[in-house]
Amino acid sequence: MARWQPNATQRLAVAALELFEERGYESTTVIEIAERAGLTKSTFFRHFPDKREVLFGGGTMTGLLVDGIAAAPAGAGPLEAVAHALDVIGREAFTPDRREFGARRQAVIAANPELREREALKGLGLTASMIDALTRRGVPGLTAHVAAELGTLAWKIAYERWSDPTNDEEFGELARRALTEVHTASALC
């Protein structure tokens, strides 16, 4: 592939996933990922700070989430603002053509403790971003924390369901249903 072709970020993610599947995460280098994508090591580092981050979307998810909460209708409650953000993420990032990638990504992460740790840290960061975005909408602190935690849990459940190759539902639908389920379950506790 020529270096000038578009979608360098996506190409790097696909190349990394392929190499992680073939050789294992630990045995794959940044140089190998860049070469597989038809790019240079410096191009890799313009898009990602390290090889772990290549599977976690950089700051894309955080930006979509924060923007989605901010763009929720003015009268939306905290959970509806979170649901609006999850809809945005579904439309922008978790499209049907990315489903197979998502399933393969999950398998690679599950097989590597360092990647599982990174995924957990990213989840904490996303929760903190939701709390901040909800607080900026005027949601009181404790309510923002609870809504963000429920949103993060719903996201995880929806992503697991969405990345299942036998599933054909859109991420936004799955996320809204999961948000309702976790909200209902929390009321039972």
What tens digit of pLDDT does each residue of 11-68 get? 999 999 999 999 999 999 999 999 999 999 999 999 999 998 898 876 788 999 999 9
Distance (Å, whole) CA 10 – CA 103? 16
Domain ranges of the chain: 8-53, 58-188
3-state SS, residue 111: coil
Do 19 and 33 form a contact (C-beta atoms < 8 A)? Answer: yes
Would you state the pLDDT for residue 165? 84
Has residue 134 got a pLDDT over 90? yes
Do 50 and 44 form a contact (C-beta atoms < 8 A)? Answer: no
Mean local confidence (pLDDT), 143-161: 96
Do 30 and 46 form a contact (C-beta atoms < 8 A)? Answer: no
Handedness of CA 121, 124, 130, 133 (dihedral sign): negative
pLDDT > 70: percent of the chain: 96
Handedness of CA 162, 100, 10, 27 (dihedral sign): positive
- CATH 1.10.357.10 is right for the domain spanning 58-188: yes
Angle between helices 141-162 and 171-188 (to 10 degrees): 130
Would you state the pLDDT for residue 57? 72
Average per-residue pLDDT for the chain = 92
Categorize the per-residue pLDDT at 1 as very low, low, confident or very high, splitting at 50, 70 and 90: very low
Would you state the pLDDT for residue 58? 62
Mean local confidence (pLDDT), 121-127: 92
Has residue 3 got a pLDDT over 90? no
Would you state the pLDDT for residue 72? 97
Architecture of the domain spanning 8-53: Orthogonal Bundle (1.10)
Categorize the per-residue pLDDT at 95 as very low, low, confident or very high, splitting at 50, 70 and 90: confident
pTM for the model stands at 0.86
Would you state the pLDDT for residue 44? 94
Would you state the pLDDT for residue 4? 54
Phi first, then psi: give them for residue 174, nearest 5 degrees: -65, -40
Mean local confidence (pLDDT), 160-164: 91
DSSP designation for 94: S
